[in-house]
């Protein structure tokens, strides 16, 4: 395998004494689409922000390394990071309604990124802004470029956010729940757009979501996170067909299916624990239907069960068949 | 923040409706703002056109008509030197407004710098704001009097004293709104697209924290006009015979029984100016900060 575009090794991020992301590792090849799935509070967003080095005080990255195109991002001075953010790695966020500055036109905001990273003059940046708006399929882009965010709908604003993220043709786009705040029909449009752009531009995408439907449609590989740790990771087909971690299994069971009519969808009992009192051992064991005594004592390791498909459950290492 | 999605949606609708009408239109259909604007405009006109409006020179003595009652030549009477009260009040507005403007500008500059640094850079927050708290522990007017008395009576020193006395309040307001705005998603988005702190602070944070500052500055203006009168009255403002409203009232104080008009009319001028500015500020606040209006309805 060639050097991956992004290589995250043993990344931990802590807020005070609470370790919100605990030794997360993964690789991402150029042009690959990776999904990170998990409930709210499972550490997905913090993982993404850690890669961007955007963890605000009092949070800090305590251990691990992040290599992007062979460069160690965690060792870079802040001024170097600024040149990478928005240019080589871009990010889009969950809330398109509030992610644009209300006092500037959308054109201004696209141009800001262009002028900063590519040193374009106003006229060139404006032309490029219109092109970008066309790229994200905003109708009558020439007129829209001079409008203010409040004149645009949520879906339109998310398209603008995407156009800002793509302005400098990044190698990696991190999309943090890009469709969560949108209507279902708009969600589909935005996902189609992202998928199309990903193919067209050949960039790698990390898609963070709690929506397994989004994952199934879009990504090639999935990481399921629970309470700051990677529970399971694998190619999307394999993971969906044969989930190995009880949490991934529970998540998949809780999705309604068109061909199975059920009264009540099975849910995973309980809620995700607070980072201040994660349970010992496997962090999922209090909610796990397979849990046995050792689960509270042993932190399970990620074990490769099938090619590229790993899960962190003691059933695969400890008291059951696989050793 | 409104808490339920329903409220949030309704609030967005309300915001959109408000934003569709232009800012001047919203301002001038607001009755309080309009009243305040007219009053303040009157005072401003008086100050700008003083040399045309004043029937006499402000310091022209007329010893044949001292402490004279209001009549056809001296509409508001004369003082103990026979100076025309109307002319002195009109010229006095120049000094009052000039000091007011200067204090507002200095407050805006220093209040924004101090407040923005404290609100945006967390490490500076505590040291800066504790100093501001220390300054605020003194009643502002006492601090201003003490400073003006130490520096000596002059217009510039009055401005300086009032700036020091009122900047902590402005800084606190700027800090508060910077603290809110710095957590906005668009600030995070700007960080993620590689913007530096200076750009974020000036382009994204400060621009969006201006509304409370503008409102505060109109109140600072009113307070400065009033405080200037206080400083002049006790003799630490611009020295006589400069016609300031405080000076006129102060000089008329000894003749309050025989010639009450000397102190009465500058007093009324101060009242009208302060009332006008306060109404203006209230109106601005209602229009610039629709969130507050929603909550009070």
Considering CB atoms only, which of A91, A103, A165 is closest to B208? Answer: A103
Question: Among A227-241, A257-271, B88-102, B108-122, where is mean pLDDT lowest?
Answer: A257-271
Residue A37 bridge partners (DSSP): A209, A224
Q: Is the peptide bond before B260 cis (omega within 30 degrees of 0)?
A: no
Shortest Cα distance from A101 to chain B (angstroms)? 6
**Contact indicator for A112, A101 with CB cutoff of 8 Å:** no
Shortest Cα distance from B191 to chain A (angstroms)? 8
Residue count of chain B = 297
| Residues of chain B that touch chain A, judged by Cβ-Cβ distance less than 8 Å | 12, 15-16, 19, 122, 184-186, 188-196, 199, 203-204, 207-208
pLDDT of residue B8: 66
Count of A–B CB contacts within 8 Å? Answer: 69
pLDDT of residue B15: 65
Instruction: Given the cut 0.90, state whether the ipTM is greater than it.
Output: no
Chain B residue numbers touching A116 (CB-CB < 8 A)? 193-195, 199
- Of B27 and B154, the structure prediction assigns the larger pLDDT to B154
Question: Among A9-13, A220-224, B54-58, B140-144, where is mean pLDDT lowest?
Answer: B54-58
Shortest Cα distance from B274 to chain A (angstroms)? 31
| B89-101 mean pLDDT | 90
Closest alpha carbon to A91 in B196, B198, B204, B188:
B188
- pLDDT higher than threshold 90 for residue B103: yes
CA A253 to chain centre: 22
**Contact indicator for B221, B103 with CB cutoff of 8 Å:** yes
| Helix residue ranges per DSSP H, chain B | 5-20, 23-28, 31-48, 50-53, 85-120, 122-137, 140-151, 155-181, 185-192, 197-199, 210-233, 245-252, 261-288, 290-296
Structure tokens at B161: 């004293």
A206 band by pLDDT with thresholds 50, 70 and 90: very high
Considering CB atoms only, which of A52, A103, A117 is closest to B207? Answer: A103
B4 band by pLDDT with thresholds 50, 70 and 90: low
Shortest Cα distance from B147 to chain A (angstroms)? 40
Say how far apart CA B282 and CA A125 lie, in whole Å: 41
Chain A residue numbers touching B2 (CB-CB < 8 A)? none
Cβ contact, residue pair B195, A112, below 8 Å: yes
Cβ contact, residue pair B193, A90, below 8 Å: yes
Chain A residue numbers touching B195 (CB-CB < 8 A)? 82, 86, 112, 116
| A17-26 mean pLDDT | 88
Considering CB atoms only, which of A84, A99, A104 is closest to B189? Answer: A99
Chain A residue numbers touching B207 (CB-CB < 8 A)? 101, 103
pLDDT 10s digits, B43-55: 999 989 888 887 8
A94 band by pLDDT with thresholds 50, 70 and 90: confident
* Mean of all residue pLDDT scores within chain B: 84
pLDDT 10s digits, B158-168: 999 999 999 99
Chain B residue numbers touching A55 (CB-CB < 8 A)? none
Q: Is A79 helix (H, G, I), strand (E, B) or coil?
A: helix
Shortest Cα distance from A269 to chain B (angstroms)? 26
- pLDDT higher than threshold 60 for residue B2: no
Cβ contact, residue pair A86, B195, below 8 Å: yes
Shortest Cα distance from A201 to chain B (angstroms)? 19
pLDDT 10s digits, A216-226: 888 899 999 99
Cβ contact, residue pair B193, A164, below 8 Å: yes
Determine the residue among B2, B186, B206, B209 to mutate to test chain A binding: the one whose Cβ has the most chain A Cβ atoms within 10 Å. B186
B152 band by pLDDT with thresholds 50, 70 and 90: confident
Cβ contact, residue pair A100, B186, below 8 Å: yes
Cβ contact, residue pair B186, A98, below 8 Å: yes
Dihedral, CA of residue B204, residue B207, residue B208 and residue B209, to nearest 10: 120
The residue of chain B nearest to residue A108, with distances taken between CA atoms, is B203
Considering CB atoms only, which of A54, A104, A112 is closest to B192? Answer: A54
Instruction: Tell me the backbone φ, ψ of residue B146, rounded to 5 degrees.
Output: -60, -45
Q: Is A144 helix (H, G, I), strand (E, B) or coil?
A: helix
Shortest Cα distance from B186 to chain A (angstroms)? 4
Chain A residue numbers touching B203 (CB-CB < 8 A)? 101, 104, 112
Cβ contact, residue pair B192, A86, below 8 Å: yes
pLDDT of residue A261: 74
Considering CB atoms only, which of A54, A83, A116 is closest to B191? Answer: A54
pLDDT 10s digits, B199-251: 888 888 988 888 888 888 988 999 999 998 899 888 888 888 888 888 888 88
Shortest Cα distance from B192 to chain A (angstroms)? 6
| A118-123 mean pLDDT | 88
| A98-104 mean pLDDT | 88
Cβ contact, residue pair A52, B192, below 8 Å: yes
Considering CB atoms only, which of A57, A84, A98 is closest to B184? Answer: A98
Considering CB atoms only, which of A95, A99, A117 is closest to B194? Answer: A117
Cβ contact, residue pair B208, A101, below 8 Å: yes
Estimate the crossing angle of helix B155-181 against helix B140-151, to 10 degrees: 140
A323 band by pLDDT with thresholds 50, 70 and 90: very low
pLDDT of residue B291: 57
Say how far apart CA A85 and CA A70 lie, in whole Å: 16
- pLDDT higher than threshold 70 for residue B16: no
- pLDDT higher than threshold 60 for residue B294: no
Shortest Cα distance from B248 to chain A (angstroms)? 46
Chain B residue numbers touching A208 (CB-CB < 8 A)? none
Closest alpha carbon to A309 in A223, A233, A222:
A233
The residue of chain A nearest to residue B207, with distances taken between CA atoms, is A103
């Amino acid at each position: 395998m060639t050097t991956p575009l992004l290589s995250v090794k043993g990344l931990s991020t802590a807020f005070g004494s609470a370790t919100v992301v605990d030794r997360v590792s993964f690789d991402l090849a150029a042009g690959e689409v990776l999904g990170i799935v998990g409930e709210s509070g499972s550490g997905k967003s913090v993982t993404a922000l850690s890669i961007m080095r955007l963890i605000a005080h009092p949070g800090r990255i305590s251990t691990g390394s992040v290599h992007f195109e062979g460069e160690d991002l965690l060792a870079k001075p802040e001024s170097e990071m600024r040149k990478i953010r928005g240019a080589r790695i871009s990010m889009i966020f969950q809330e398109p309604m509030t992610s644009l500055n209300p006092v500037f036109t959308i054109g201004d905001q696209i141009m800001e990124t262009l002028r900063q990273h590519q040193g374009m003059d106003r006229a060139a940046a404006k032309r490029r802004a219109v092109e970008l708006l066309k790229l994200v399929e905003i109708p009558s882009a020439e007129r829209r470029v001079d409008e203010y965010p409040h004149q645009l709908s949520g879906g339109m604003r998310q398209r603008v956010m995407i156009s800002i993220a793509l302005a400098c043709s990044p190698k990696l786009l991190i999309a943090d729940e890009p469709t969560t705040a949108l209507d279902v029909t708009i969600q589909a449009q935005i996902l189609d757009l992202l998928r199309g752009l990903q193919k067209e531009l050949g960039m790698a995408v990390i898609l963070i979501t709690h929506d397994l439907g989004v994952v199934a449609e879009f990504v090639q590989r999935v990481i399921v996170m629970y309470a700051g740790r990677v529970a399971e990771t694998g190619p999307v087909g394999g993971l969906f067909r044969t989930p190995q971690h009880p949490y991934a299994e529970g998540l998949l069971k809780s999705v309604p299916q068109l061909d199975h009519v059920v009264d009540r969808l099975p849910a995973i009992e309980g809620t995700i624990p607070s980072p201040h009192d994660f349970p010992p051992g496997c962090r999922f064991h209090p909610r796990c239907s397979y849990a046995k005594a050792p689960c509270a004592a042993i932190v399970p390791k990620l074990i490769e069960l099938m090619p590229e498909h790993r899960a962190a459950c003691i059933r695969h290492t400890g008291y059951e068949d696989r050793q | 923040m409104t808490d339920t999605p329903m409220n949030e949606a309704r609030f967005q609708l309300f915001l959109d409706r408000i934003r569709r009408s232009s800012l001047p239109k919203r301002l001038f259909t607001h009755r309080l703002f309009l009243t305040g604007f007219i009053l303040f405009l009157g005072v401003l006109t008086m100050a700008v056109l003083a040399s045309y409006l004043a029937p006499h020179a402000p310091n022209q003595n007329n010893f044949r008509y001292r402490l004279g009652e209001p009549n056809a030549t001296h509409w508001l009477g004369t003082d103990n030197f026979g100076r025309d009260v109307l002319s002195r009040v009109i010229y006095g507005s120049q000094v009052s407004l000039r000091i007011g403007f200067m204090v507002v500008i200095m407050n805006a500059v220093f209040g924004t710098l101090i407040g923005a640094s404290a609100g945006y850079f967390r490490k500076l927050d505590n040291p800066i704001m504790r100093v501001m708290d220390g300054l605020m522990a003194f009643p502002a007017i006492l601090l201003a009097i003490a400073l003006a008395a130490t520096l000596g009576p002059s217009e510039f020193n009055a401005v300086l004293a009032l700036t020091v006395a009122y900047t902590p309040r402005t800084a606190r307001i700027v800090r508060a709104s910077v603290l809110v705005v710095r957590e906005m998603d668009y600030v995070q988005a700007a960080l993620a697209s590689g913007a530096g702190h200076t750009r974020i602070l000036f382009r994204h944070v400060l621009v969006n924290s201006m509304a409370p500052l503008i409102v505060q500055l109109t109140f600072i203006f009113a307070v400065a006009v009033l405080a200037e009168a206080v400083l002049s009255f006790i003799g630490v403002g611009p020295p006589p015979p400069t016609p300031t409203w405080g000076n006129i009232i102060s000089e008329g104080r000894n003749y309050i029984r025989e010639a009450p008009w000397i102190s009465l009319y500058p007093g009324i001028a101060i009242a009208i100016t302060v009332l006008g500015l306060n109404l203006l500020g209230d109106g601005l606040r209602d229009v610039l900060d629709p969130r507050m209006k929603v909550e009070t309805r």
